[in-house]
């Protein structure tokens, strides 16, 4: 039987276990999308290439198998470079497939001609153009394997129009190779013993649970370690839920004290980048001893020298550490001064947060919104969050009970990821856990990046609850009187602050485009009513637009949240 490049590529993706494709079609990939569907792949048409790329990488994180982002040539590929970089920095598996101008048009001004392989290479682990139809299966296998193996990331494959339409006989195709699951690196037992000794002799130990532990699906082992040893732990933003946020050993409310005073820190799948303040003073003690566990050897000693650096999958390391500590009868009791200091700081900070959360005067503040939202959303909901204060404050008040149930702007700090992530999460839930809800909590600025994906949600009947925390600005906005006064005279480009957005934009009215109704709320009573109603929907999204004080801010910080350069 004769096959064209489209059919060979679609068949190769299916053979490698690819299930989801997100994209926007046009020349030369329209027929490819049809071939993909004919092979049984799930194709989700998006409204923006960046959002398609965000969705594809989120499904990769949730399933462990890359999602595909399918785009057209030239501008289509360029639009996803931000998403490719986000997947690469965030360490999520992704495969981008780009159509490109036919090879006989290259160099003479072909339609959307662009050096796509070269442009993609800085943003991914593997970038290639198969030279023939017969070699498509080999390149697909390698792209998927490299996206998954080691530290996950992005791959790119380029397909000129003439390659997609070229024909080959089925019997000429080489046998498709399918790689096994990623190999599991085991730790050096001597290094495990060193790590156990450091923890046993520590006066102020701390475990930091990272996104790597969540991706590794090591939650059972990490929970056993925490509960068996009674060690205090901190989750990174997407390490939330590996051990439940409300576990008594979670000392997130005392984060600053924990980082500053810990004498031994065990990093489980977390990197000492900006999120963890690089592991350097003054956010850490100058003599802190770091035990670093990472699947990627190149990550070791990346910011500061680690006392013990262990290349390993989180699961076997944690299992061996549990055994080593048990042999030493190690358990860090609550009677220790370190636990007493942490508990006291947690209680002090909780009182400050509770006072803000229980202040329901209008206009509302962030803490009141999140505190009361948390009371109504299911405990097993997947929470997507992006924005500045919206994401950061929401992280402390919107709790996760399970691993891989929080998706946010991540290591790259990318805005606009929310709707794409939420679409991926909703599709994952539909196929694997239909009882779960997806809550997408957006700042109004962040929502503006990818807001038209609401149409995608309607088209595919995805019951996503979108909560927009609307302060009318980037970081902060202005009340209506101030906003109007500022803009009453002069050139608007001179007098409108760069951070200002329109006061109380009615984003919920976007639902009327589909004959549906969103909600605009100002009070907690209104919020409680509409959240309960929105959670009953099973086949449509819902927008809840919450007006808060334009000047609402986070509680006073001991340090600025972003560590500043000392140069």
Contact 215, 91 (CB under 8 A): yes
> pLDDT per residue over 203-256, tens digit each?
999 999 999 999 999 999 999 999 999 999 999 999 999 999 999 999 999 999
The helix/strand/coil state of 385 is strand
The helix/strand/coil state of 235 is strand
pLDDT attached to residue 484 = 85
Is the pTM higher than 0.95? The answer reads yes
User: Residue range 306-328: average pLDDT?
Assistant: 98
**Is the pLDDT higher at 9 or at 553?**
9
User: Residue range 459-480: average pLDDT?
Assistant: 95
3-state secondary structure 209-271: ECHHHHHCCCHHHHHHHHHHHCCCEEECHHHCCCCCCCCCCECHHHHHHHHHHCCEEEEECCC
Share of the chain above pLDDT 70, in %: 99
- Residue 449: phi and psi, rounded to 5, are -65, -40
148 CB burial (10 A radius; 0-12, 13-18, 19+):
buried
- Residue 114: phi and psi, rounded to 5, are -165, 140
Strands of 331-436, DSSP E: 382-386, 406-408
CA–CA distances in Å: residue 383 to residues 173, 437, 453, 464: 44, 9, 17, 10
Residues of the chain with CATH 3.40.50.970: 2-172, 359-547
Contact 125, 108 (CB under 8 A): no
pLDDT attached to residue 523 = 98
User: Residue range 516-525: average pLDDT?
Assistant: 97
Cα 152 from chain centre: 13
pLDDT attached to residue 566 = 62
pLDDT attached to residue 561 = 67
Cα 463 from chain centre: 20
Share of the chain above pLDDT 90, in %: 90
User: Residue range 297-323: average pLDDT?
Assistant: 97
Q: Does domain 359-547 have CATH number 3.40.50.970?
A: yes
Looking at the domain that runs over 189-344, which CATH code has it been given?
Answer: 3.40.50.1220
User: Residue range 515-532: average pLDDT?
Assistant: 97
Residue 560 has pLDDT above 80, yes or no: no
Residue 567 has pLDDT above 70, yes or no: no
- Mean of all residue pLDDT scores within the chain: 95
- Residue 401 makes CB contacts below 8 A (sequence gap 6+) with 241, 244, 245, 246, 379, 380
- Residue 348: phi and psi, rounded to 5, are -60, -45
Residues of the chain with CATH 3.40.50.1220: 189-344
pLDDT attached to residue 554 = 78
Q: Does domain 2-172 have CATH number 3.40.50.720?
A: no
pLDDT attached to residue 171 = 79
User: Residue range 139-143: average pLDDT?
Assistant: 97
């Amino acid at each position: 039987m004769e096959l064209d490049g489209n059919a060979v590529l679609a068949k190769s993706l299916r053979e490698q276990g690819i299930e989801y494709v997100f994209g926007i079609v046009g020349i030369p990939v329209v027929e490819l999308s049809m071939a993909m569907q004919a092979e049984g792949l799930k194709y989700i048409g998006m409204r923006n290439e960046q959002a398609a790329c965000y969705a594809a990488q989120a499904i990769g994180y949730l399933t462990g198998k890359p999602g595909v982002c399918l785009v057209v040539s030239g501008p289509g590929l360029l639009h996803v470079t931000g998403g490719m970089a986000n997947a690469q920095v965030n360490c999520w598996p992704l495969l981008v497939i780009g159509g490109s101008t036919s090879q006989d048009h290259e160099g003479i001004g072909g339609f959307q001609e662009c050096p796509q392989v070269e442009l993609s290479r800085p943003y991914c682990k593997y970038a290639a153009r198969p030279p023939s139809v017969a070699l498509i299966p080999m390149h697909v296998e390698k792209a998927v394997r490299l996206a998954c193996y080691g530290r996950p990331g992005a791959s790119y494959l380029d397909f000129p129009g003439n390659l997609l339409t070229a024909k080959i006989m089925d019997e000429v195709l080489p046998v498709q190779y399918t790689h096994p699951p990623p190999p599991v690196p085991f730790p050096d037992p001597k290094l495990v013993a060193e790590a156990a000794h450091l923890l046993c002799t520590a006066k102020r130990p701390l475990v930091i649970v990272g996104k790597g532990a969540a991706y590794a699906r090591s939650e059972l082992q990490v929970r056993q370690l925490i509960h068996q040893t009674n060690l205090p732990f901190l989750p990174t933003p997407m390490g939330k839920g590996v051990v439940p946020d409300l576990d008594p050993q979670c000392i997130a409310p005392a984060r600053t004290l924990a980082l500053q005073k810990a004498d031994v820190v065990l990093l489980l799948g977390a990197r000492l980048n900006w999120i963890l303040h690089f592991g350097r003073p003054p956010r850490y003690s100058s003599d802190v001893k770091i035990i670093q566990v990472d699947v990627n050897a190149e990550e070791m000693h990346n910011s500061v020298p680690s006392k013990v650096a262990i290349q390993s999958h989180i699961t076997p390391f944690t299992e061996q550490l549990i055994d080593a500590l048990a042999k030493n009868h190690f358990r860090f009791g609550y009677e220790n001064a370190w636990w007493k200091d942490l508990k006291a700081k947690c209680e002090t900070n909780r009182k400050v947060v509770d006072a803000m959360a229980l202040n329901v005067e209008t206009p509302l503040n962030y803490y009141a919104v999140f505190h009361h939202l948390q009371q109504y959303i299911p405990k097993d909901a997947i929470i997507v969050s992006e924005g500045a204060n919206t994401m950061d404050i929401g992280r402390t008040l919107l709790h996760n009970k399970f691993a891989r149930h929080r998706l946010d702007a991540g290591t790259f700090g990318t805005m606009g990821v929310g709707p794409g992530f939420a679409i991926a999460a909703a599709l994952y839930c539909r196929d694997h856990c239909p009882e779960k809800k997806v809550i997408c909590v957006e700042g109004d600025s962040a929502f503006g990046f990818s807001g038209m994906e609401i149409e995608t949600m309607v088209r595919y009947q995805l019951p996503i609850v979108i909560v927009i925390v609307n302060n009318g600005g980037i970081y902060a906005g202005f009340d209506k009187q101030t906003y109007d006064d500022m803009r009453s005279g002069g050139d608007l480009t001179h007098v409108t602050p760069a951070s200002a957005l329109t006061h109380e934009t009615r984003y919920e009215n976007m639902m009327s485009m589909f004959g549906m109704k969103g909600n605009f709320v100002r009070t907690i009573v209104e919020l409680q009513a509409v959240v309960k109603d929105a959670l009953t929907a099973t086949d449509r999204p819902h927008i809840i637009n919450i007006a808060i004080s334009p000047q609402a801010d986070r509680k006073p910080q001991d340090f600025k949240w972003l560590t500043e350069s000392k140069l």
